[in-house]
Chain A
Amino acid sequence: MRNYENLVIVKPTFTAEEIQASIKAVEEVITSNGGEIAATNAMGMRKLAYPIDKNERGYYHVIYYTVAPSSIAEIERRFRINEDLLRFVTIKYDTNREVTAWKQLVEKANKSAEPKATEETPATEEAAAE
């Protein structure tokens, strides 16, 4: 098992639900190939530095996961078929230094995801108490 990171850019023409559905499909591709998703980070809709297929914007989503190196080829093949994606970038974290960096990135992504969840729950409790 090796640590990887995938950045995918989803087409901007989709609605929010369609974007979420296609991201789920992307994660499904990784998990069905024996990958374990450690963290995800939605960077959101951004302007692209250069147009890709005449699109000026794109929805960025980053997935950190561990998977056996042999299944990366299959995952990338599936991504290439997927027409929802404008672009994907796969990064391998192999050396010790990179692996520690990967762990830090995962922690960071989880931390930034958690506060939102914790903020949401107290808010609803307060609302219920009031």
Chain B
Amino acid sequence: MAEKRKYRKRYCKYCEAKVDFMDYKDVGALRFSLSERYKIMPRRLTGNCKRHQDMISVVIKRARAAALVPYTVTRKTVVTAPFENLK
């Protein structure tokens, strides 16, 4: 009983910023909810609320369809700096 909280309280970053709508073309903003291998980060790690997690998952899937974000990153298909625009 009375075990101390090991981690600080998680909060939703998007709620704090009062995000109402996410644009799938804004790839830099999706970075936060993507892992190194471009998987969608789970809610338990990012601390997103359910509402914003639902929004971000839809937006990331749209960005994947538009080839803005890769579906998978394996050793064979390593993307070097994919967020940088092609010059």
Residues in chain A within 8 A of chain B (CB atoms): 7, 9, 43-50, 52, 57-58, 60, 62, 86-87, 89, 91, 97-98, 100-101, 105
Contacts and interface: CB of A to CB of B under 8 A. Distances in A.
Say whether chain B's binding surface is mostly helix, strand, loop, or mixed. loop
A95 B56 CA distance: 17
Please list the 4 inter-chain residue pairs (A to B) with the smallest Cβ-Cβ separation, ordered nearest first: A101-B21, A49-B70, A47-B86, A48-B67
B11 interface: no
B66 A46 contact: no
A86 B79 CA distance: 20
8 contacts: A9-B67, A43-B25, A45-B86, A46-B85, A47-B82, A49-B70, A60-B66, A89-B62
Contact of B67 (A50, A100, A105): A50
Interface string B52-74: 00000000001011111111000
B67 A49 contact: yes
Question: Which of A43, A45, A48, A52 has the most chain B CB atoms closer than 10 A to its own CB?
Answer: A48
A31 B77 CA distance: 39
B20 interface: yes
Interface residues of B, number: 19
Interface of B: 20-21, 23-25, 62, 64-71, 77, 79, 82, 85-86
A62 to B, nearest CB: 7
